[in-house]
Amino acid sequence: MNKNPIFCAIDTVDITAARVLLARLAGRIGGVKLGLEFFAANGAAGVRQVMAGNDLPLFLDLKLHDIPHTVAGAVRALLPLSPAYITVHAAGGLAMMQAAAQAAGGHCKLLAVTMLTSLIEQDLPGLGILPGLSDQVARLGALARRAEIDGLVCSAHELSTLRRTLGPAMTLAVPGIRAPGAAADDQRRVLSAAQAFAAGADLLVIGRPITTAADPAAAATAILASLRTA
């Protein structure tokens, strides 16, 4: 393991609290994930404030999903924030993902969200999606590769299949990480960090197991240690 794959999901809209948390986690995480809730509250200016003086890679998890022209414009508008990763929804389709990739122009990596980790098999009929869930993830993953997207956001449960079918070049980012026996909260397709890493994850997006711990730094350190034996 040459680099720390843990991207801490900053679960707060409070800029000061976010900066304090990142200071506590210095040297223990490999990157920072800021998502839709934070961006809705604070915008690009808030992202700059949190990342000021911080050289960690930025994962902007905004899950862009709109017509191709709009998504391309959004990607271009985000590039001045110097993100390492931006997420789009694979369900936006081939043309949308191609437009996003063209707009990114190699300045950041685009990750396509396959199926949210809050969804399970029984949710598919209500969404008009044919079963099974793993088949849908595979379809969306193949579509993202065709669009020349850099990687995918997926559940740990789909990692092995995606790695086998898409090869080593695609970056696979996994949210929904929970310790064995811990509460899953609103996540429903979860594994531990060590299990996900062993199955082929490149990035582990971890929020509450770190951010709500009594000692976030110790929690991050323990998770990183578990990966070295995975």
- Domain of 202? 6-227
- Asked whether residue 41 is domain-assigned, the answer is yes
- Asked whether residue 1 is domain-assigned, the answer is no
- Asked whether residue 48 is domain-assigned, the answer is yes
SS3 readout for 181-215? CCCCCCCCCCECHHHHHHCCCCEEEECHHHHCCCC
The CA distance from 220 to 223, in Å, is 5
- Asked whether residue 174 is domain-assigned, the answer is yes
* 167-199 pLDDT tens trace: 899 999 999 786 644 444 544 556 789 989 988
Residue 117 pLDDT: 74
Nearest to 59 by CA among 74, 71, 47, 41: 47
- Asked whether residue 189 is domain-assigned, the answer is yes
Collapsing DSSP states into helix, strand and coil, what is residue 147? coil
* 189-228 pLDDT tens trace: 567 899 899 889 999 999 999 999 999 999 999 999 999 8
The CA distance from 100 to 215, in Å, is 39
Q: 155 and 189 in contact (C-beta within 8 Å)?
A: yes
- Asked whether residue 140 is domain-assigned, the answer is yes
Q: 60 and 85 in contact (C-beta within 8 Å)?
A: yes
- Asked whether residue 161 is domain-assigned, the answer is yes
* 18-60 pLDDT tens trace: 999 999 999 999 999 999 999 999 999 999 999 999 999 999 9
For the whole model, what pTM was predicted?
0.90
CATH number at residue 51: 3.20.20.70
The CA distance from 7 to 157, in Å, is 19
Query: Which percentage of the chain shows pLDDT scores above 70?
Result: 93
Q: 81 and 48 in contact (C-beta within 8 Å)?
A: yes
- Asked whether residue 28 is domain-assigned, the answer is yes
Report the domain count for the chain: 1
Q: Which residues are catalytic?
A: 63
